[in-house]
Amino acid sequence: MKKIITVVGARPQFVKAATLSREFQKVGVEERIIHTGQHFDANMSDVFFTEMDIPKPAYQLDINGLTHGAMTGRMLEGIEEILLKEKPDGLMVYGDTNSTLAGALAASKLHIPVIHVEAGLRSFNMAMPEEINRILTDRISNYLFCPTDTAVKNLHAEGYASMPIRIIKNGDVMQDAALYYAAKASQVSDVLTKHQLSSFVLATIHRQENTDNPDYLRSIISGLNSIHAITPVVVPIHPRTRGILAKMDITPKFNMIDPVGYFDMIMLLQNCDIVITDSGGVQKEAFFFGKHCITLREQTEWVELVENGFNTLVGSDSQQLLTAFDFLSSKASDFSIDLYGNGKAAESAAKMIAEF
């Protein structure tokens, strides 16, 4: 039986891991999960394992609240120690966080095959820590599972086709999760009644490029405040963002609620009018549930959403945000187009990994 070590640490990775963990059990792959602790708030971490029936992590590193270098370094040290003990057949990482890069580095230095799920994504903005993480992770991985044709093209453009690396387009495992858990969400979530929500805009803000720039953050909050005067805006607020708003003495007029679990987030996505976000994962989730999205960034890895008119990039400009909101509020789109596979991405990946 193959043994795979999976490294997770942030919300999107918990969602993705749920899909593969379920499929690993079907194909007889033994999985041991390392939780780095990058998201340490219980509502942003523990609740996902409980709600989504993800196997409890075999290891908890509890590394958070540090600089990028310190966090990545300590994760690398902790993961390496576990790998020396476990001696797995491979290590799997997701996405583009510090946890992703640390896991890939630890395994590659020990000559343990690295499997990168959600490979090949590029924003072409090297100022983003996530861009650095995803490029480096791709380069030291052995198996690159790509969610889209664009991701495959990015890798080919960078010369990966001539490297001893397997490039596989298998679809997006986040769509698997959205389809699988949507029905359960309506049964277990009370987020709509709890916060008395009917017609509303859902927004999330957490990227450092926005939260750590006072001008950007004030402009975004100003735009959200203006939209809130038209349609209620609901923001599940990241603890770090809440702290920065208080420190900068910025007063949001919209509704800030505590971080929510995955099922609550599904219900918010299914029932909102429009999504406003700087998250990569939420851009796709908006599409999965048939909602237009306004992205608070200058670039996106999910270019197909922009090209097909489902997503609009506005950066941190409050006026562009208002213009996009006004336009998308009355726009009709066909969300039935297949951009991310047929919901079988995790099944396909698990079968391949079992045969590697």
Q: Which domains does the chain have, with CATH numbers?
A: 3-172+342-355 (3.40.50.2000), 181-328 (3.40.50.2000)
Query: Catalytic site residue 206?
Result: yes
- Give whichever of 76-90, 116-130, 251-265 has the largest mean pLDDT: 76-90
**The pLDDT of residue 95 is above 70:** yes
What pLDDT does residue 50 have? 75
| Lowest mean pLDDT segment, chosen from 44-58, 174-188, 266-280 | 44-58
Q: What is the pLDDT of residue 316?
A: 96
CB 128 within 8 A of CB 42: no
Q: HSE-up of 76 (CA within 13 Å, CB side)? A: 15
In this structure, are strands 143-146 and 201-204 parallel, antiparallel, or unpaired? Answer: unpaired
| pLDDT (0 to 100) of residue 342 | 79
Q: Is it the case that residue 106 has pLDDT exceeding 70?
A: yes
- CA–CA dist 233, 202 (Å, integer): 6
Q: Quick one: pLDDT at residue 208?
A: 87
Buried b or exposed e, range 297-323, using 16+ CB within 10 angstroms: bebbbbbbbbeeebbbbbbbbbebbbe
Say what percent of the chain tops pLDDT 90. 81
Q: At residue 44, does pLDDT exceed 60?
A: no
Of 116, 206, 238, 292, catalytic: 206
Is 191 a residue whose pLDDT tops 90? yes
Number of DSSP helices (H) and strands (E) in the chain, helices first: 16, 13
Q: In the predicted model, is pLDDT for residue 43 greater than 70?
A: no
Nearest to 290, CA basis, from 272, 314, 264, 313: 272
Give residue 228's pLDDT.
Answer: 98
- Give yes or no for residue 97 having a pLDDT over 90: yes
- At residue 203, the pLDDT reads 98
The percent of residues above 70 in pLDDT, for the chain, comes to 97
pLDDT at 53 (0 to 100):
76
Mean local confidence (pLDDT), 96-103: 96
- DSSP state for residue 339 in the 8-state scheme: S
Can you tell me the mean pLDDT for 106-128?
95
Q: Look at residue 186 and tell me whether its pLDDT is greater than 70.
A: yes
Tell me, what amino acid is at 148? T
Instruction: Work out the average pLDDT over 198-209.
Output: 93
**Number of Cβ within a 10 Å radius of residue 208:** 16
**pLDDT of amino acid 311:** 98
Residue by residue, DSSP assigns 95-137 as TTSHHHHHHHHHHHHTT--EEEET-S-----TTSHHHHHHHHH
Mean pLDDT score of the chain? 93
pLDDT at 40: 62
pLDDT number for residue 11: 77
Read off the pLDDT of each residue in 44-57 and give the average, rounded to a whole number.
73
147 vs 342: which has the higher pLDDT? 147
- With b meaning 16 or more CB within 10 Å and e meaning fewer, what string describes 33-59? bbbbbbbbeebbbbbbbebbebbebeb
Confidence of residue 4 (pLDDT cuts 50, 70, 90): very high
| Range with top average pLDDT, 189-203, 231-245, 249-263 | 189-203
Instruction: Tell me the C-alpha distance between 279 and 259, whole Å.
Output: 14
Residue 341 has pLDDT above 90, yes or no: no
Q: State mean pLDDT over 126-148.
A: 95
Distances (CA, A) of 68 to 101, 129, 257, 351: 11, 8, 27, 34
Q: Computed from CA positions of residues 24, 28, 34, 37, in that sequence, does the dihedral angle turn out positive or negative?
A: positive
- The mean pLDDT value for 154-162 works out to 97
Rounded to a whole number of angstroms, the distance between the first and last alpha carbons of the chain is 12
Q: What is the pLDDT of residue 15?
A: 84
The residue among 54 and 40 whose pLDDT is bigger is 54
